[in-house]
Amino acid sequence: MGSGAARGMSGRHDRIVTGRALDEDARLDASVRPVSFGDYIGQDRVKENLQIAVEAARARGEALDHVLLYGPPGLGKTTLAQILAREMSSSIKISSGPLLEKKGDLTAVLTSLEPRDFFFLDEIHRLQAALEEVLYPAMEDFRIDLIIGQGPGARVHPYQLSHFTLVGATTRAGLIMAPLRSRFGIVHRLDFYTPADLQKIIARSAGILGITIDSEGAAEIARRSRGTPRVANRLLRRARDYAEVRAQGHITVSVARDALAMLGVDEHGLDEVDRNLLLTIIEKYGGGPVGLNTIAASLSEEEDAIEEIYEPYLMQLGLLGRTQRGRVATALAYKHFGLAEPQRQSGLFS
């Protein structure tokens, strides 16, 4: 599982299940999470670069350089951070930008780190500016400045930190301030997975969870998983539920199609929210351009959820475009719904 937000968005990818079912899914997600580079499927270029960095750091007996991982949610940022810590035989502490509210919160974590420990900070783009300033000397000089006393008699006491590794994760790399970004020595983007890699992930997860699935069934789920392992594992579990009730527990390609159809997931991996988003732009706003805040209000969704979760995949499929004046439904979106595309002004995507 990749980086997940620590805020309860209605639009998160695990929105199909709630309550106890969501807790159970979280437990199962943890059980299929890769624990080494050998278990980690996909992202070959990123994985190879990180393996080299780890081996070099271990040979020198040093802490790994600070790492920034960015890309859409669910692609494995958290998993990679935990693998890095294991490969370095180090401990890892995990937090997220929204959870750290005061300088004391961040200081407490940093001062507790042992040499070569890892600190994984999810949603680092949402870290408060005042806390970012604490990170600058911590990352560069392994030092923080503690203020002792109050008022005119207060004095600054430099505190030396252990040499640690900060792994930052974000879905919005463009929102990270340049001074913070420049302090990461290793920066990698995680891309959407290929259906072939997702099929391998599904087969591996099925083996761990004791799910009976044939290769065609795994391929069908992989094709509809939005290029995202987290979604693939969720759809696998829902297909398992369907198979246990209506297909003697075995997931074939036909069982997978029926299960996904019941979930409202079409052949492209689009669900009801994706279709509503596109149809809102097409039917209510003439295909666009229309502002993000207007779309969010029309769908009763958070702007962040639309921008971080839905848009990247819709844009990858070529169904949605961003312009200087707002979002537009593309010709492929009209074709997807069997609708005639209206005439638009030229230069819309300039």
Burial (0-12, 13-18, 19+ Cβ within 10 Å), 71: buried
Task: Indicate if 122 belongs to the active site.
Answer: yes
Of the residues 29, 117, 122, 197, only one is catalytic, namely: 122
Task: Indicate if 117 belongs to the active site.
Answer: no
CATH superfamily of 19-189: P-loop containing nucleotide triphosphate hydrolases (3.40.50.300)
Residue 123 contacts residue 170 (beta carbons within 8 Å) = yes
For the domain 272-336, what is the CATH code?
1.10.10.10
Of the residues 77, 116, 226, 327, only one is catalytic, namely: 77
Of the residues 170, 171, 280, 330, only one is catalytic, namely: 171
Measure the CA angle with vertex 329, ends 328 and 331; round to 5°: 125
pLDDT > 90 in the chain, percent: 68
The pLDDT score that the predictor gives to residue 349 is 44
Q: Is 80 exceeded by the pLDDT of residue 322?
A: yes
The pLDDT score that the predictor gives to residue 19 is 43
Task: Indicate if 230 belongs to the active site.
Answer: yes
Dump pLDDT digits (tens) for 142-182.
998 876 656 676 666 788 999 999 999 999 888 899 999 99
The pLDDT score that the predictor gives to residue 212 is 93
**Neighbouring C-beta atoms of residue 11, cutoff 10 Å:** 20
Q: Kindly state the greatest CA–CA separation across the chain.
A: 75
Dump pLDDT digits (tens) for 41-94.
999 999 999 999 999 999 999 999 999 999 999 999 999 999 999 999 999 999
* Cβ contacts of 186 within 8 Å, gap of 6 or more: 49, 50, 53, 64, 65, 66, 67, 68
Dump pLDDT digits (tens) for 338-347.
888 887 654 4
Of the residues 78, 107, 165, 170, only one is catalytic, namely: 78
Class of domain 195-263: mainly alpha
Phi, psi values for residue 47, rounded to 5°: -60, -45
Q: Is 90 exceeded by the pLDDT of residue 348?
A: no
Task: Indicate if 78 belongs to the active site.
Answer: yes
Q: Where are the domains of the chain?
A: 19-189, 195-263, 272-336
Residue 127 contacts residue 102 (beta carbons within 8 Å) = no
Q: Mean pLDDT of all residues in the chain?
A: 87
Of the residues 230, 237, 238, 327, only one is catalytic, namely: 230
